[in-house]
Structure 1
């Protein structure tokens, strides 16, 4: 997750829509009195606050690999630490791990998942959510234009399909719940899909280009996105937002 930059304010532009999968994920975690809850890739900390409220007696540990995100979380009063996901492993008192929209940035996450599950204490819960839309026009168009400029961005191999995650976390003695949901988001404003992906899919492109080059990239991308996601009669645009979920409960 290193080598690219995050803009916490931009990321929160669509806070309600981006946060909905988090609530759907955490709703499947039925831990009652966890000792330690880990927000693995906490971002600006706005959802870590939800974990604090749900389990007020637990130690809630927040970490992220982005200095800007850690700073934003600390401004909210979250005691976040600057830690790469790849270097983390669960301690013996970790009873809940939540990683929300993070692992798609970690190329080695398929190797890490079974290790984490094996290391968790009996009775612990692990919950993850990743985007499943790397084959959507929004991402395909970005890859095509980026490739023409010699820039490599994440492709469909960035995440697996639900069955793969069921296999990875379905270790002996572990109950697994895996599903997918496509949220149909109604976006508004000028070039709403472009605005939506600016904080996420376009991040590596922004980091690879100078400001003028990035503006040119966006200008070339915008009409292609408008064609792929035409506006409705009222000016809004429907944007399919596919997410993959997996929850594991290690039996006591």
Structure 2
């Protein structure tokens, strides 16, 4: 699946806010190594290097397109680097003191099975902070599934979307962290985002949830699918004189190994 960094960054301020709400709960004074799993274009990873200038900060992502943008952030920072890699194959090093994963683990089907192992491998005092979307039941996603499962598209999009079980509820992440011997906190936030522009929610999902569908279809079929989906979103999220309100639910969990 190919990512478009420009489209992903179109609503940068809205996408970045959960990251800072997440990392604001990490109380690490002087970590040796900080890892950002699913670092994307690297702009937020760079803020981790600014926060902890004595740490080696590593961003990991499976998208060459995203990492090509991220490299620009590594040039002025001596201890910031980016690596191409599958999150599912990653494991912490003995010096990993902080792990951050912001809006990435929903793309890793087995992350609930991987999380206990990651936590077990961390040394006492290390932190693990994750944030995933919790809006798979919202119209933006349910309409996408309904269209993909309709007779016109089911054969071509069978198995492409796995929104029903992509993430767990906050209590599940809290339980995993507590069982792994962490002092942990889990919560959820719904941001009522006011998005500018025409059919703004459609433009939003083109940078994230719609990517697997676009990757699975030919250019002509993708254009046809988008037309139908965009119409449904315009009806579900009507614009107003001040923009389009998009409820944006996110799930957070932060743990410190005891």
Shorter-normalised TM range: over 0.9
* Larger mean Cα displacement after TM superposition, 144-153 or 200-209: 144-153
Residue among 147, 150, 162 paired with 1:154: 162
Matched ranges for 1:18-97 at <5 A: 18-77=15-74, 78-97=80-99
Aligned counterparts of 2:215 and 2:134: Cα–Cα separation in 1: 23
Please tell me whether residue 16 in structure 1 is matched to residue 23 in structure 2: no
Q: Deviations over 1:14-34 (max 9, x none)?
A: 110000000000000000000
Q: Which residue of 2 aligns with 1:229?
A: 237
Q: Deviations over 1:104-159 (max 9, x none)?
A: 00000000111111110110000000000000000011111112313131222100
The 1:172/1:83 distance shift into structure 2, 3 A limit, reads closer
Q: Deviations over 1:83-103 (max 9, x none)?
A: 100100111110000000000
The 1:172/1:82 distance shift into structure 2, 3 A limit, reads closer
Residue among 235, 238, 242 paired with 2:245: 238
Could you list the runs of 5+ residues in structure 1 that have no partner in the other structure? none
User: Residues 36 and 58 of structure 1 are in contact (CA less than 8 Å); yes or no, is this contact kept in structure 2?
Assistant: yes
Aligned counterparts of 1:154 and 1:183: Cα–Cα separation in 2: 23
Give me the CA root mean square deviation. 1.1
Please tell me whether residue 168 in structure 1 is matched to residue 176 in structure 2: yes
TM-score by length of 1: 0.95
TM-superposed CA distance for 1:162, in Å, is: 0.6
The 1:172/1:115 distance shift into structure 2, 3 A limit, reads closer
TM-score by length of 2: 0.93
Aligned counterparts of 1:223 and 1:59: Cα–Cα separation in 2: 46
Aligned counterparts of 2:242 and 2:254: Cα–Cα separation in 1: 38
User: Residues 198 and 239 of structure 2 are in contact (CA less than 8 Å); yes or no, is this contact kept in structure 1?
Assistant: no
Aligned counterparts of 1:146 and 1:172: Cα–Cα separation in 2: 38
Could you list the runs of 5+ residues in structure 2 that have no partner in the other structure? 75-79
Q: State the aligned residue count.
A: 247
Aligned counterparts of 1:227 and 1:235: Cα–Cα separation in 2: 17
Please tell me whether residue 249 in structure 1 is matched to residue 256 in structure 2: yes
* Larger mean Cα displacement after TM superposition, 171-180 or 191-200: 171-180
Look up the SS of the partner of 1:184 in the other structure. Answer: strand
